[in-house]
Every structure is written in C-alpha cells, then in structure tokens.
C-alpha cells in the first residue's frame, strides 16, 4: 500500500490506535512498549502485512528531529534541579566523557572486526554512543521503579543531556568520512562551538521564555501550551542557525522552565506529558516503516557482535572511567552501565549518513537499527531484575514520584486555612506566579467583593482579598504565611 493524501489520516490513526491498545498489556509480559511500536511499524511496512511502502530518510529524519524536540523538552520540564544537583557532576561526566569513551571503544572494535575505515567505524560508534532519552524515560517511569541513592536522577539527567554530545560526534565523524583531506583537529572548533553556543542559547532562551510566558496576556488558557511549543522550536532552530547545538539548547531551556513559576504551568506540563508519548509512538512507527527486515538479515552476525560488545564492554568502559573521579559504590556504577538503552535517537542519527550519500550508509543504518532493538530487548526487559540483583532497588511497594507526577496529582490536601490580605502585605498587586508560592500548597479560591474566584498564575492579589489555601502539611501553610503576609521593608 502506498501512502497518499487521501488515506494518510486513516492509516496514521489506525496505527496509533493499535499501538496504544497493544502497548497497554505488553508490560504484563515484560515487553517494553517501544518495541511494540517498532514492531507495528515494521508489520505495517512494505515487507509486512500492511504493505505500506516508505523509503524516504529525509522525511523520517524530519519526523525524528521534531519528535526528539518534544521528548527532550518534556524530559527537561520533568527534571527537578534540586534532585539532580547532588549528581550534576556525575551526570555531566557521563553525558560528555562517557559518550566519547563509549564511541571510541566501540569504534575501535568495529574497525578491528569489519572492513570499515577508521572514520567509518568511529561514525558507527558515535551514532550509538548515547543512551536514548525516550527509551530511558519511558521504561523507568512505566515500571515505577524506585531506586536508591539518587540513581534515578542520574540516569534521567544522563539520558536527557547526552544526545547533544552524540549528535556532535556523529556530524564530526561524518564530515571526516565525506572529506578525507580533513583531520581530527579540524573539527575541534566545530565541537566547542556547538556545545558552548548550545549551552548559552539554552540558558538565554529559558530566561526569555519565562519572561514571555509570564508577561504576555492571552485570553485563553489553551494558548499557553501553544506559546511554549513555539518558543521550543524557536530555541532549537535559532540555536542551530547560529551554529550551536539545538538539542542541548532545548533541554537546558526546558530544565530552566521546569524549575520556575510559570502561568498555567499545570496545563503546559500536562500537555507535554501527552505529546511526549505521542511523539514516541509516531517516531518509532516511522522508523519501523523505514526499515526493511530483509536488509537486516545480512548484518545479523556483525550486528549481534557489535551490540553485545557495546552492552558488555564499551558502555561499561565509558561509565566506569567517567565516574572514576567520584566516590560511588561499584553496584551503582554497574547499574548505570546496564541502563544504557539505545532507542530512537541513534536510528535518527543514522539517517544522516543516508542523506549524505555515504557508501556504507545502508549497512550502518541496519546495524544501528539492530543494536537499538537488541538493547531495548536485553537491557529494557531486565532493568528491574538487575536492580534487585545489585541491591539498588527500594523495597516493593515503594514509589518515587517525578516532578510531573507530583505537580499534576489531584490528591486532596490535608490542611486548609483562610488568609486575609491587608494593604501592608507584600503580595498586594502582585501576580501569584511572582510570589514563588510553595509547591505543596495551592490557592483554591479567592473571596473578593462578595464573590468567589478560581485563580491562576496570572491572577493579581488585592488588598481585602480572603484566600482559601490548601496544603499537604501544616508546615506548608506556614510557608504560605511567609510568602503572602510578610510586609514590604520600610523605604
């Protein structure tokens, strides 16, 4: 079947429906949903029962980049800075030095066992050098796995921040493959420009985005998520335009925004949570359609060798060396090494050699696809088992809520208080979003001029208001008092 304008919506909606329905019971059997999405895409493809012919790496790459934008941005919004701050150095070491070491170790192995040149081998190593944010976020959260000693923040920080490094290495190695007259030193300026500009742009656009969201006055609450989507794509494309790393920029921008007080933040985060899942499904379905199973069969042997070497040698080497500068128990290092899932991001990066017209691009793409599938199958299905073996899992029944889980929770509050606002209060004539209100408390209603208002972040507190405040604990109400009632200093 050929995809046309007339049937694309029908085909797409049916594939989405099948993916959601089949993905729900799959975890009862320990099968990661990402594999289900890939399998459905392959079954619907030209060599499957669906017979849909799709062989356009350019469209697949476009869909992949858009999807990764949403996935990384959603992961950034869900990153609690206070939680990752104790492991910030470890996470950054894993996402930079760890990725570099993994790429170099695997590239050397590929060069030794195949007829690839050194640069072609390093290109393959670079493509699969990063853990996949979509795979890690999806599997950790769907399994509700509670881990000891800041392991979860470390894993999520690494997976959310190491794609930029892998992308830079991929483009750099591809440049060396396509331009034999260049050497490694010639790509160093490109590397530093990408990372420095990407980091600065992410921080700058994060501050700008917060200012825009909180100061603009939109008539409809539903427009605020649309505004954030626009700001996300502006961040990515503008950073890329000036030579920076767009993936790094949007992740840093999202981390900044996720830890700030935003108007309609609950609506924004709820929408991104759903969009991240949608983009994961669309991305894996597209990549499943793009692959031809008959072309994977010839590379099964070398693909299995490379995949096992990556899981058992290259990834552990990268993790153990990059974490050797920090005090950490060996079982933690080994578990981080095992949760090195490869997923959609490497397959998206593998489309770059295809579009560049590289001679062995098809072979690299098929090997990368095989590595991603085996990684999710082997590592993704054994994450819980290894956590118990290495004694890094909390007891059964424990659950650690992510910031999104906590923020979007609709659980009733345990404490309530009515607070009267006097003219001397520091909160008078200020928006709620500017008060740095405690995260465990909400203003449920405002009694003003004989009527009750349901406030949002843009609502201004006025003298004479009576606020009905709900909180998880009495301590939360005490924090609210300090936030609302403290008078402005004299002068």
Separation between Cα atoms, residue 429 and residue 436, nearest integer Å: 15
- Tell me what pLDDT residue 490 has: 38
Query: 20-52 pLDDT, tens per residue?
Result: 777 665 555 555 677 777 888 888 877 777 777
- Model confidence at 314, in pLDDT bands (50, 70, 90)? very high
- Tell me what pLDDT residue 340 has: 82
Q: Is 46 exposed, middle or buried (0-12, 13-18, 19+ CB in 10 A)?
A: middle
Query: 359-410 pLDDT, tens per residue?
Result: 888 899 999 988 988 888 888 778 878 888 888 877 654 555 554 454 445 4
Separation between Cα atoms, residue 44 and residue 50, nearest integer Å: 4
Q: 0.85 exceeded by the pTM?
A: no
Structure tokens that stand for 179 in this block: 């331009």
Separation between Cα atoms, residue 66 and residue 137, nearest integer Å: 17
Of 237, 238, 234, 210, nearest in space to 224 by CA: 210
Cβ contacts of 354 within 8 Å, gap of 6 or more: 57, 361, 362, 365
Residue 89 has pLDDT above 70, yes or no: yes
Separation between Cα atoms, residue 171 and residue 352, nearest integer Å: 8
Residue 230 has pLDDT above 90, yes or no: yes
Separation between Cα atoms, residue 283 and residue 135, nearest integer Å: 12
Most confident by average pLDDT, 18-22, 100-104, 417-421, 484-488: 100-104
Structure tokens that stand for 43 in this block: 């079954």
- Tell me what pLDDT residue 250 has: 93
The whole-number average pLDDT for the span 341-351 is: 84
Query: 145-183 pLDDT, tens per residue?
Result: 667 767 888 887 888 788 888 999 999 999 989 887 777
Work out whether strand 415-420 and strand 441-448 pair parallel, antiparallel, or are unpaired.
unpaired
- Model confidence at 144, in pLDDT bands (50, 70, 90)? low
- Tell me what pLDDT residue 295 has: 83
Domains of the chain: 57-286+294-403 (1.20.1530.20), 411-485 (3.30.70.1450)
Query: 436-457 pLDDT, tens per residue?
Result: 777 667 787 888 887 887 787 7
The whole-number average pLDDT for the span 319-328 is: 90
Structure tokens that stand for 213 in this block: 């969201």
Query: 252-307 pLDDT, tens per residue?
Result: 999 999 888 888 888 888 888 888 888 888 888 888 888 888 888 888 899 999 99
Mean pLDDT of the chain: 82
Q: Determine if residue 155 is left, alpha or beta; phi over 0 gives left, psi from -120 to 50 gives alpha, anything else beta.
A: alpha
Residue 2 has pLDDT above 60, yes or no: no
């Amino acid at each position: 079947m050929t995809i046309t304008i007339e049937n694309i919506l029908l085909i797409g909606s049916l594939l989405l429906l099948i993916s959601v329905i089949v993905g729900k019971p799959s975890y009862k059997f320990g099968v990661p949903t990402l594999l289900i999405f890939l399998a459905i895409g392959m079954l619907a493809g030209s060599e499957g029962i669906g017979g849909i012919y799709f062989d356009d790496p350019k469209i697949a790459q476009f869909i992949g980049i858009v999807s990764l934008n949403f996935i990384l941005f959603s992961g950034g919004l869900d990153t609690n800075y206070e939680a990752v701050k104790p492991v910030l150095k470890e996470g950054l070491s894993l996402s930079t030095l760890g990725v570099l070491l993994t790429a170099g170790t695997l590239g050397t192995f590929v060069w030794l066992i195949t007829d690839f040149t050194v640069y072609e081998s390093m290109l393959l190593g670079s493509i699969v050098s990063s853990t996949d944010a979509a795979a890690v976020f999806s599997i950790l959260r769907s399994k509700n796995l509670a881990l000891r000693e800041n392991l979860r923040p470390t894993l999520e920080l690494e997976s959310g921040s190491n794609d930029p490094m892998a992308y830079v290495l991929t483009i750099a190695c591809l440049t060396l493959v396509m331009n034999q007259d260049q050497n490694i030193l010639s790509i160093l300026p490109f590397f530093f420009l990408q990372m420095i500009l990407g980091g600065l742009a992410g921080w700058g656009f994060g501050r700008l985005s917060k200012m825009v969201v909180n100061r603009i006055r939109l008539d409809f609450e539903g427009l605020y998520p649309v505004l954030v989507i626009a700001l996300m794509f502006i961040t990515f494309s503008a950073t890329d335009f000036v030579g920076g790393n767009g993936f790094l920029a949007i992740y840093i921008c999202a981390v900044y925004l996720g830890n700030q007080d935003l108007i309609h933040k609950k609506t924004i985060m709820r929408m991104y949570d759903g969009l991240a899942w949608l983009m994961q499904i669309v991305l894996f379905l597209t990549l499943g359609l793009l692959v031809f199973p008959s072309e994977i069969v010839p590379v099964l042997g070398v693909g299995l060798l490379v995949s096992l070497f990556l899981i058992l040698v290259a990834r552990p080497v990268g993790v153990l060396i990059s974490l050797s500068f920090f005090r950490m128990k060996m079982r933690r290092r080994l578990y981080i090494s095992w949760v090195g899932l490869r997923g959609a991001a490497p397959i998206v990066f593998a489309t770059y050699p295809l579009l560049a017209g590289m001679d062995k691009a098809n072979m690299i793409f098929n090997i990368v696809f095989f590595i991603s599938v085996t990684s999710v199958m082997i590592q993704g299905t054994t994450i819980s088992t290894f956590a118990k073996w290495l004694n890094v899992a909390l007891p059964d029944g424990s659950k650690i809520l992510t910031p999104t889980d906590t923020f979007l929770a609709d659980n009733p509050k345990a404490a309530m208080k009515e607070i009267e606002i006097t003219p001397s209060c520091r909160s008078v004539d200020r928006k709620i979003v500017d008060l740095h209100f405690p995260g465990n408390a909400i203003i449920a209603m405002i009694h003003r001029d004989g009527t009750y208002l349901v406030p949002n972040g843009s609502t201004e507190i006025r003298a004479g208001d009576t606020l009905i405040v709900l909180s998880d604990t009495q301590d939360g109400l005490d924090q609210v008092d300090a936030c609302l009632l403290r008078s402005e200093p004299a002068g």
